[in-house]
Amino acid sequence: MSQRYLVPFGPKQTPHLFTDVLVIGAGIAGLRAALEAPASLDVLVVTKDSIQQSNSTYAQGGIAGVLSPEDRFENHIEDTLVAGAGLCDRAIVEMVVREAPQQINDLIRFGTNFDEEDGQLALTREGGHSHRRIVHALGDATGHEVMRAIIERSRQAANIILWDRTFTIDLLTHAGRCVGALVTRPQHGQLLIWAKQTILASGGCGMVYRETTNPPVATGDGMAAAYRAGVELRDMEFMQFHPTVLYVAGSSRYLISEAVRGEGAYLRDKHGERFMLADDPRAELAPRDVVAQAIVRCMERTQHPNVYLDLAHLEPARVRQRFPGIDRVCRGFGLDITKDRIPVRPGAHYMVGGVTVDAQGKTTLPGLWAAGEVTSSGLHGANRLASNSLLEGLVFGAQCGRGAAEAASQMPDSFVVPPLANLPSSRVPKEVVPAPALDVADITNSLRSLMVRKMGVVRDRTGLQAAKHDVDFWCRYVLAQQFEDRPGWELQNLLTVARLMIGAALAREESRGVHFRSDFPQRDDQHWQRQVASPALNG
C-alpha cells in the first residue's frame, strides 16, 4: 500500500517559503548547479545532514578527464562505452567527456588544490581506463578537497542560501508539474517550499545494503520521492559494487580506492595466489563488475569471507604518500599497508540507475531537473567507469543549473499557494499494525541484510522472487503508515527503492555490466540491449 505523500500537511497550517530555484542535495551535483544561477535569482540548497555529508565528500579516487598529450577524447569515450556494456548513450558520453577538462579547470578556479608532480597535475590510472587521466587531491581524499572548495565558493555567493539538517519529505506537484518540496527542519517543523524550478541532486541509495561504502545519508530519498511524484526511473537493477571494501570486524566498511590497483596492487586469495590473471587479461585493472564477480567466485571457491590486496612489492614511501587516508585507517587495525595484506570484499558503492534525465538534466516531470547519482543519464550504461561519477555530477550539475535558471528567469514572481493538502491517513487497513508497534530499526536491518543475500553481486530468479515476496510484505504495512521522524521516512524510501531494484533485476533476464544473473549468465543483445523503465506510482 503506497501513499502519494508520506505525511499529512495543509497550506493553512504549514509555513511557506518562496524561491526561484530549489536544489535538493548539497553534494557536487547540487552545489555545481547552484553556482550556475545568476546573482539575480534566489537559490535555496537543502540537505538532510551537515553540508559535508554526501557521497561526493567520501569519493577517494578522483575525476577523469583528458589532460595529457598522449590521451585523446576518443580514448576516454571508448573506455566509458566498453565499461557500460552496450547501454551507454554515446551522445551523452561524448558530451560529458569533452566537457571534463573545462569542469576540472573550473574546480581549480573555485580553489581546489589537486595533487601535482613537477608543477603539473598528477594523473593516475584506474580500472577500465586506457591512460593515466585521473586528477586527485590529498592523495586519496579527492572528494573532501573538491567539496571543501565548492562549499566555500557557494557560501560566498550572496544569492545562494544553504540549509543543512533539512529533510526533504516529498516533492510537491500541481497541474502536472513540480512546484517545490515539503521539508522539515529541527525547531521549525514542516515547511512548504514553493520553487519556480526544482533540481534534484539527492545522491544514491547504498544504505539499502548492509555492506556499503556510502555514508548513512544515502537512503534513496530523492529517488523514492520522485517515484511518488510520478517521475520515470530506469536502470534500477544496476547497483555497482566496489570490489575492494575493507573487511575487518568492527570497522565501518571503508573504501579501498580503485587507485590502489591502478598504482599496481595485486589481489590475492587466502593462499596468496593472484586469481585475477585467470579471469581477465586486464587482471586487477579490469572494470569493477569483472573484478567484483571474480572476487565473489574466489570467496566461494576458497570458502573464505574475503580476499586480500597486496602492496608489498611497491615502494613503501610512495604508497604512504599516495594513500595517506587508507594508510591511517589500516594502521588503526594494526595493518601496515606496505607489508601486510589488506582484507577486502565487494560492497554496494554507486547506483547507476535512477531518475531518467535527458542531455539537459530534465526529468519526465516539468519543473523538475536532476543531476548526479540520483539519475540515470545514459553516461554509465550498465556499469560506471571509475572516476566518471564526480565528472557526471559536475557536467549535469552545470547543465541543470543553467537550464533551471533560464526557465525560472522567464517565470514571473507569483506568491500564490496552490490548494495542495494531504489529510491524516484513514486508509490504514485494520489488520495493519499501528505505527508505534513497529520496530523501524529491525525492519531496516532485515531489509539491508536481505538485499546483500538476494540482490547482491550474483543473483538468480529464486533469490529475487524470495526478496520480492519479503519486500512486498514489509511494504504492505510500512508504506501505509504516516511516520513523524526521519528513520521512518528513510525506511519507507529504502523499501520503495528496493522494490524497484528487485523488479528491474527480475525483468532483465541476462547478465550485463554490474547485473549478473547466474541463471542467465550470458549477455543477450538481441533481447536486452535496452533499458528497463520503472513505472511511476502516479504515471
Catalytic residues: 288
Cα(401)–Cα(30) distance, rounded to whole angstroms?
9
Which DSSP string corresponds to 234-271?
A: E-TT-EEEEEEEE--TTS---B--HHHHHTTPEEE-TT
Cα 126 to chain centroid distance, Å, stands at: 19
Cα(121)–Cα(386) distance, rounded to whole angstroms?
18
* Amino acid identity, position 32: R
Which DSSP string corresponds to 135-167?
A: E-STTT-HHHHHHHHHHHHHHH-TTEEEE-S-E
- CB-CB contact of 83 with 385 (8 Å): yes
Hey, what's the cell of 344? 577486502
Residue 532's contacts (CB-CB under 8 Å, 6 or more residues apart) are 234, 235, 236, 237, 504, 507, 508
Cα(237)–Cα(507) distance, rounded to whole angstroms?
9
Q: How many CA atoms lie within 13 A of 408 on its CB side?
A: 32
Cα(260)–Cα(273) distance, rounded to whole angstroms?
18
Cα 282 to chain centroid distance, Å, stands at: 26
Reduced to 3 states, what is the DSSP secondary structure of residue 295? Answer: helix
Q: In what order do the strands lie in the sheet with 233-234?
A: 375-376, 354-356, 233-234, 533-534
DSSP 8-class letter at 114: -
Cα(366)–Cα(357) distance, rounded to whole angstroms?
11
Cα(261)–Cα(140) distance, rounded to whole angstroms?
13
Burial of residue 1 (CB within 10 Å: 0-12, 13-18, 19+) is middle
